[in-house]
Amino acid sequence: MRIPTRRVLADDVYEQIRALIMSDGMAPGARVNIDELARRLDVSPTPVREALARLESEELVSRLPLRGYSVTDLLNRKQVADLYALRLLLEPPSAALAALNMTPESAQQIEDELATCPAAPADNAYDDYKNLTAHDQRLHELILRIAGNDAVLQSFIKTHCHLHLFRLNFQQPFGVQTITEHRAIVDALIAGDPEAASAAMTAHLEIARARLLDRM
Ligand SMILES: [Zn+2]
């Protein structure tokens, strides 16, 4: 039997706590009891503390002086609207730039990314949903990378928008439309058509925003 290294254990504990938060196994706003969580995961408190520090940098938990950690709240309507407003400022012009910057290599990269998620998950099992969200995040970041403005890319990454949207969307199917909308964006990029790429990105973000706000 392989004895897990300290790093593997720390990563594993981090993933388990993250999954609990993302799938509402730890409710938004709940206080985090480190000893209880360590017992639940059958580990010592040390890797739990390490995991919480990482999760704090992703804004999934927050720490208050003398009160310890609590799970962050879900985004409210205004925060969701603000987040999509920011994305609409950043991503459609970036898609237009990316369309102008496309090379055979970047076209291949983007097709390879689409191929990682050829179909929407049939049900809303946590792992399927996590994979779809991870693919969505990689695709949007790849388009920003091809556009080539690092300040825009870093601003996007700092919003942690996929994490927050994942928590709101979990168990609410959206995969099929997402895959279709991504195809339209990628077709415009590969055609080297900046207007069509910008329009497809705008449509994708506006539909996603409406889908989410309708349910809140
Ligand atoms: Zn998307």
Q: Say if residue 92 is in the same domain as residue 117.
A: yes
Domain that holds residue 134: 77-215
User: Can you give the CATH number for the domain in which 103 is found?
Assistant: 1.20.120.530
**How many whole angstroms from 23 Cα to the centroid of ligand 1?**
20
CA–centroid distance, 162 to ligand 1, in Å, is 10
One domain for residues 106 and 197: yes
pLDDT reported for residue 201: 98
Q: How far is the CA of 28 from the centre of ligand 1 (A)?
A: 25
Amino acid in position 137: Q
Q: Could you tell me if 152 and 94 are in contact, meaning their C-beta atoms sit under 8 angstroms apart?
A: yes
Are 144 and 153 within 8 A, CB to CB?
A: yes
pLDDT above 60: residue 50: yes
Quote the CA–CA distance of 143 and 201 in Å, as a whole number: 10
Confidence class for position 4, pLDDT limits 50, 70, 90: low
Task: Tell me: do 104 and 183 sit in the same domain.
Answer: yes
Q: Within this chain, do residues 117 and 36 fall inside the same structural domain, yes or no? A: no
Q: How far is the CA of 182 from the centre of ligand 1 (A)?
A: 6
**Model pTM score:** 0.85
> Letter for the amino acid at 149?
N
**66 and 155, same domain (yes or no):** no
Q: How far is the CA of 83 from the centre of ligand 1 (A)?
A: 14
pLDDT at 2 over 70: no
Q: Which of 21, 50, 71 is the last residue of a domain?
A: 71
Crossing angle (nearest 10°) for helices 77-101 and 194-215: 160
- Mean per-residue pLDDT, 22-27: 84
Residues 210 and 107 in one domain: yes
> How much is the mean pLDDT over the chain?
90
Residue 23 sits at the vertex; the CA angle it makes with 139 and 76, to the nearest 5 degrees, is: 75
Residue 128: per-residue pLDDT? 78
Neighbours of 134 (CB within 10 A): 14
Q: 147-184 pLDDT, tens per residue?
A: 999 999 999 999 988 888 888 876 666 677 888 999 99
What is the number of domains present in the chain?
2
